[in-house]
Structure 1
Amino acid sequence: MPVLLGLPSHAAGSSLLRDIRSGQDDTPSDCGSLVAVGNTVYFSNESASTGSELWKSDGTVGGTVLVKDVLPGPDGSAPYTFGELEGSLFFTSRGGTQRRELWKTDGTPTGTVRLFTVPEGEDSSEVSITEWARVGGTFFFSAQFIGNKELWKTDGTPAGTARVKDIAPGDIGSFPDNLTVLGSTLYFSASASGSNPTDLWKSDGTVEGTVLVKDVKPGSGSSQPVQAAALGNRLFFWADDGTHGLELWTSDGTGAGTVLFKEFAPGSASGLGEPEWRRPLMAVLDGVLYFGARDTAHGLELWKTDGTVEGTVLVKDVNPGSSDSLSRMTVVGGRLYLSQYDEAHGLEPWVSDGTEAGTVRLADVAPGEASGSPLGFTRVGDTVLFQARDTAHGAELWKTDGTPAGTALLADVWPGPDSALRYDSRTGEVALWGVEELGLAFFMGADSSSGQELWVTDGTAAGTRQVEDLVPGEGSSVPSNLVYLGGKLVFAARDPLVGNEPRVLQWELTPPDTTAPVLTCPASLSATAPDANGVAVSYNPATATDDRDTPVIEYGQASGSLFPVGTTAVTVTATDSAGNRSSCTFEVTVKTEPTEPAPRPEGFACSSGGPGASAFWILLALLAVACVRRRESPR
């Protein structure tokens, strides 16, 4: 498992960006959701003098200010933020007449402008805008500004802000839903009659170009189009034509080109059940659409299509028989991660490459029939983190590299069966934020000595720790909406004295360590051995420094060991924690002691010493010559 970017030493805790209600009364503040646009984070907050208004922060105390007092006085405009287009944040607020208004802001008072005001006499109680989509420079959303809920658009100007079309005239409302973009066209489900029946519509932003694509279920019935996704130049969605049940359809934007793509459950049975309507069971990866479906032989399983009927196949029957397997799916880091169930292992984490062989269980987190219930797959570097639970550890953070061998419990933050992590039971969302720029993940965790506080991990057990215990003891600060703004982490957290306010934590990006240690070898040296076997030599240690940590120094031959006669080159290496290495070499030369001649025995006859030695050898040579001449004389 790759180790993520290094976790910096961080002793200082977070600081309050601004106590907006300070000195006004004893009522704790309650910061709304943080929304990041570029290097600015926006949130709603309330003070005694302005009421609830829109604020912004760049992560500094001086840069945390009121954007604009939209409704002067203590009542406040109660802003509700919902989307961003070309650097501007869109929000609804209450105007001077107490009617709802649509605004946008670039973060400056002059750049905070009203786009639309709900006319007098209209019901503006519905303020939440939960469906929106961007098509080029136009922002589409579903809103109740005139009559009931209809499709609206804005280009960021008052003149370009209008209801696209009154699909269900009067106070009925068409309730546009499932907004999906395909090219330059917006597709959505809507009801022209305002009652339950809904069908597939499309819009190019004009009244004339906002039309019913096809009445899939003719008459007063609803085709219930859900779970839409774009693949190539076609839209795929589930719909019920009254004959085939809820099945997979496809559309090219024309009535003739909107057809039943594949019937999974023959007759009036459905290939997709009602429990899956609001669950994300469609994902496009590398030109392939993955989706959940059930047929007569299989429960809810993973299928895929390349856009052709022939290329639409079951990926793998994980839970053989008619029982369901697929629970959730999400694309993370170029892989498809799944929560799937089988009777032998329960609901566990899976991964798929789109083939039967490549669709495998990552771990049996809760051994046996119990379920690990994986949630919140989040990528950080080459690692994917997720929440899972077992009886021994409770709900904790797990990690995977996309292989069974690389999947394991990251850390038992709250040792024992108690759970360190929490999740929203309505949405399945886990308070887990991956910050790619830092190679770190932050999460809300609890342990035996503290409540729900901010934690951080670099993908290792040793690098998983609490950032700070903001509310000491069993109390909890419940951190939320964490955003990284270039060296600063901004998040909302609760404090018993000031309430839920934005806080900042200085956390500079630590670049990868690519610098090798600076290594200095000892001087070369000589030694004398008493014989040819060599001698033990001790030398001074090398020295090494590094800009990040203390390097590890290794020697080719240890000091104090036996060196042979001759010259030995000793190589020294210094390695830091990032694997950067430097080396140097010095020499140890070993010589033997010079030997003195051995003394000769006394009385040795052939000794060349003495005063008569030279005469003797001369006489011997003359005799030899004389003998030769006598032999050569004729007889």
Structure 2
Amino acid sequence: MDLTDVDGRLFFTADDGAGERGLWRADNTGTTAVKLLDFPYNYGSDGRYDDHGYRALTDVGGTLFFITKTDRTDALWRSDGTKGGTVRIQRFDDLDSRGGENGPSNMAAVGDTLYFTADDGDLWKSDGSKAGTVFVKHIGTGGDENYYYGPTELTSVGDTLYFVGDDRTGSGSEELWRSDGTAAGTVVVKDIYPGADFHEGPSRLTVVGDTLYFTADDGVHGRELWTSDGTDAGTVMVEDIVPGAESGSPSTLTELGGTLFFGVHDPEDESRDLWTSDGTAAGTSLVKDFDVDGEGQGYLPRIVVAGDRMFFFVGVAGGVELWTSDGTEAGTTLVQGFPLGWNSGGPGELTAVGDTLYFYIGGYSVAGADLWRSDGTAAGTVLVEHIDSPTYGGPGALTASGGKLFFAVDDSAHGNELWVSDGTGPGTHLVRDIDPSVMFVSRGARTGAANATARVPVTVYSSGTVKVAPARMGGVRKLRQEIVFDGNWYWDVATLTLDLTRAARRELRRTGRVEIGARFTYTSCAGPIETEKRTYTLKKRR
């Protein structure tokens, strides 16, 4: 389930239980959700719906852009939050001659314009209309393109797009590019590592004000912090934080109050410390050393800003600690520790809603998902709700929208569904049981051994009993089978082997194909009963 906020409106993807995944929108109260579009069918080889039928929900100037995908065609869409305003912009052939993906990907907004990549190396842009969806420039290699799949890290700085792409020398290395939306204005900014072969280019592109920061390796100083104003001369290393060829490997680049903060690898104790920079060597300094008891267990997997403070977790022996910082050493303080067991999930999904941080720690209390919130104090760091879950995982896709927190979670009773929280237990609840089903029967079947059976995959969300009976044209014998749901994920898949009738087997042998029909009734141990009818065309096995 993907969630994206667009001007206070929550868009998300979900399966309605009929095997159809689509685009939905929830209202700001968190009490209703409406479906805007059924995504095109995209069934895998086993006949089950392929979840990769959509990609990249992206806010572009208050309009949602997204991609649908099938085996043959990708399409770019936009939506204003209404069914009538959810329209396809343009189709793209999905596969190229190498079997690679040609469809749109790597979407990013620059003002009211969407930029994206397609055709394994082409930069495109769109204003939301078919006529305004145009090719900008091919960013392929100067040599063999079999390894290359186009620009990445598309990032907006003002009205300019920056990205990482092949240097087009045939070396296989990547460099920093910029684009103004024209072919002539799409150029390499700087060759940071001249003469390198198959060198990983800049990464972690991050904007602070009108300045671009990123990490790069010039072949001399290791991977360190760099900045760029879009010119060759203005693209420079900020500071060799870990001197020499060893890398400081800056990570989790984050902006707070117009200043950059990031983590740096400390080779002396193998910890990751908090640093800050104003873009100059003199203004780049250590904020806090997180060498924990000399064991080098400190880490900052992600920094999240909530209000005027940063939040992050630091690893310690036996667990993790939540810290907060205002950007100064004195203002970087421990909030609360969390002991973790071998089966604990998280912490994860750090998300800000206004001045409040939300996160989950799975299995912290008992098996299930614990949703927490924090205001940066120990007293204000509290468990919001424990949600019984069939796994030790936690809520996913935490997203702020309309002043509330939305997320996806499986509470054992409803499957993986959309929830909302206002930060209190009573205010944390299911938005809508979009998929009330307990079973999904594949729309495809395979001919079994000796051309005497049909093999049909079924997806279940709890243990129960499935009964199969002939329906429509028939051709199958009755079946009763127990299915045990192991609870290791949100669903289990079982394959039913249906015996064909004598007449169906004879038809299959004589003509090479036969149509069969069956009614599947699933009685869940949790109570619900669901019935689905399917017809299949079987082909004779050789």
Superposition TM-score tier, normalisation by shorter sequence = 0.5 to 0.7
| Residues 12-27 of structure 1 aligned to structure 2 (within 5 Å) | none
Could you tell me which of 181, 184, 188 is aligned with 1:205? 181
Compared CA separation, residues 234 and 340, structure 1 to 2 (3 A): same
CA distance in 1, matches of 2:184, 2:326: 43
Assess if the C-alpha contact under 8 Å between 1:372 and 1:389 holds in 2: yes
Residue 216 of structure 1 is matched in structure 2 by: 192
Which of residues 232, 241, 258 in structure 2 aligns to 1:287? 258
1:93 is displaced (CA, Å) by 5.0
Structure 2 counterpart of 1:430: 396
User: Corresponding residue for 1:262?
Assistant: 239
SS at match of 2:339: coil
Kept in 2, the 8 Å contact 1:453–1:478? The answer is no
Spell out, residue by residue over 1:263-290, the C-alpha distance to the aligned partner (whole angstroms, 9 max, x if none).
11222111118xx6xxxx1110111111
Alpha carbons of structure 1 residues 441 and 104: separation in structure 2 relative to 1, 3 Å: closer
For 2:155, the equivalent position in structure 1 comes to 180
Contact 1:455 1:464 in 2 (8 A): yes
1:166 to 132, 138, 143: 138
What is the rounded CA distance, in whole Å, between the counterparts of 1:386 and 1:265 in structure 2? 32
2:216 to 232, 239, 242: 239
One-letter amino acid matched to 2:165:
A
Residue 60 of structure 2 corresponds to residue 85 of structure 1? yes
Deviation of 1:432 after TM superposition, in Å, equals 4.2
Displacement of 1:242 after TM fit?
0.6
Q: 1:63 and 1:460 mapped to 2: Cα distance?
A: 25
Does structure 2 conserve the Cα–Cα contact (< 8 Å) formed by 1:164 and 1:205? yes
What corresponds to 1:407 in structure 2? 381
Match of 2:357 in 1: 384
Distance between the aligned counterparts of 2:288 and 2:424, measured in 1?
32
8 Å Cα contact 2:221-2:247 kept in structure 1:
yes
- In structure 2, how many angstroms separate the alpha carbons of the residues matched to 1:346 and 1:184? 44
Q: Distance in 2 between matches of 1:129 and 1:335?
A: 36
2:471 is aligned to: none
- Deviation string 1:536-588 (CA, Å, 9 cap, x unpaired) is xxxxxxxxxxxxxxxxxxxxxxxxxxxxxxxxxxxxxxxxxxxxxxxxxxxxx
Count the aligned residue pairs: 427
Pair 117,180 (structure 1): closer, same or farther in 2 beyond 3 Å = closer
Q: 1:327–1:341: 8 Å Cα contact kept in structure 2?
A: no
1:360 aligns to what?
333
Given candidates 252, 266, 290, the residue that maps to 1:318 is 290
Matched residues in 2 for 1:65 and 1:116: separation?
19
What is the CA distance between 1:214 and its match in structure 2? 0.6
Q: What residue in structure 1 maps to residue 447 of structure 2?
A: none
Task: Report percent identity of matched pairs.
Answer: 36
Runs (5+) with no aligned partner, structure 1 = 1-31, 424-428, 480-494, 500-635
Q: Residues 419 and 337 (structure 1 numbering): CA distance in 2 closer, same or farther, change over 3 Å?
A: farther
Structure 1 pair 445–319 and aligned structure 2 pair: CA distance change class (3 A): farther
Task: State the 1:319 CA deviation.
Answer: 1.4
Matched-pair contact (CA < 8 Å) for 1:366–1:390 = no
Indicate the residue corresponding to 1:550 in structure 2.
none
What is the CA-CA distance between 1:223 and the residue it aligns to?
A: 5.3
From the two aligned structures, give the one with the greater strand fraction.
2
Tell me whether 1:327 sits opposite 2:278 in the alignment.
no
Q: 2:537: which partner in 1?
A: none
8 A contact 1:185–1:204 mirrored in 2: yes
Q: Does 1:251 align with 2:222?
A: no
1:55, 1:81 → 2: CA distance?
Answer: 12
User: Which residue identity is paired with 1:162?
Assistant: V
Q: Structure 1 pair 122/92, CA: closer, same or farther in 2 (3 Å)?
A: farther
Residues 44, 79 of structure 1: 8 Å contact kept = no
| Alpha-carbon separation, structure 1, partners of 2:22 and 2:341 | 51
Aligned residue type for 2:128: G
SS state of the match for residue 254, structure 1?
coil
Shift of 1:183: 1.4
TM-score (norm 2): 0.64
8 Å contact kept, 1:292–1:302 = yes
CA distance in structure 2 between the aligned counterparts of 1:370 and 1:62, rounded to whole angstroms: 34
**Pair 1:189-2:164 in alignment:** yes
Q: Which amino acid aligns with 1:168?
A: G
Tell me the SS of whatever aligns to 2:245. coil
User: Cα offset for 1:158?
Assistant: 3.0
* Contact 1:387–1:421 (Cα < 8 Å) also in 2: no
Q: Does the C-alpha gap of structure 1 residues 466 and 165 become closer, same or farther in structure 2, counting only changes over 3 Å?
A: closer
Partner deviation per Cα, 1:114-139 (whole Å, 9 max, x = no partner): 43544997668516644221112321
- The answer to whether the Cα contact below 8 Å between 2:93 and 2:102 also exists between their aligned partners in 1 is no
Alignment of 1:507-546 (within 5 A): none
CA distance in 1, matches of 2:202, 2:246: 16
For 2:205, what is the secondary structure of its paired residue? Answer: strand
Contact 2:73 2:103 in 1 (8 A): no
Name the aligned partner's letter for residue 396 of structure 2: V
Residues of 1 paired with 2:16 and 2:431: CA distance? 28
Note the residue ranges of structure 2 that are not aligned, 5 or more in a row.
43-48, 439-460, 464-486, 492-527, 533-542
Displacement of 1:397 after TM fit? 2.5
Tell me the equivalent position of 2:126.
Answer: 154
Q: CA deviation at 1:237?
A: 0.9
CA contact (8 A) 1:380 1:441 kept: no
Q: Distance in 2 between matches of 1:125 and 1:63?
A: 35
CA radius of gyration, larger in? 1
CA distance in 1, matches of 2:135, 2:107: 14
Instruction: Find 2:277's aligned residue among 305, 309, 312.
Output: 305
Q: Which shifted more, 261-270 or 173-182?
A: 173-182
Matching residue of 1:459: 423
Could you tell me which residue of structure 2 aligns to residue 507 of structure 1? none
Against the structure 1 CA distance between its residues 349 and 451, is the aligned structure 2 distance closer, same or farther, given a 3 Å change threshold? same
Q: SS of the counterpart of 1:328?
A: coil
Q: How many angstroms does 1:403 deviate by?
A: 1.1
Instruction: Return the alpha-carbon distance in structure 1 between the equivalents of residues 377 and 161 of structure 2.
Output: 38
Please tell me the residue identity of whatever aligns with 2:215. Answer: W
Cα separation, 1, equivalents of 2:41 and 2:432: 36
8 Å CA contact 2:26, 2:34 repeated in 1: yes
Once the two structures are TM-superposed, the CA of residue 444 in structure 1 deviates from its matched residue by 2.4
Deviates more, 1:284-293 or 1:216-225: 216-225
Change in CA separation of 1:258 and 1:224 when aligned onto 2, cut-off 3 Å: same
Q: 1:98 and 1:375 mapped to 2: Cα distance?
A: 36
Question: How many Å separate the matches in 2 of 1:410 and 1:369?
Answer: 23
1:181 positional shift: 1.2
Equivalent AA in structure 1 for residue 117 of structure 2: S
Q: For 2:107, which of 129, 132, 139 is the aligned residue?
A: 132
- Corresponding residue number in structure 2 for 1:229: 206
Question: Structure 1 residues 195 and 365, CA, compared in 2 at 3 Å: closer, same or farther?
Answer: same
Give a deviation string over 1:350-390, Cα, whole Å, max 9, x none: 11111112111211221899999522233456543322367
Single out whichever of 376-385 and 329-338 deviates more from structure 2: 376-385
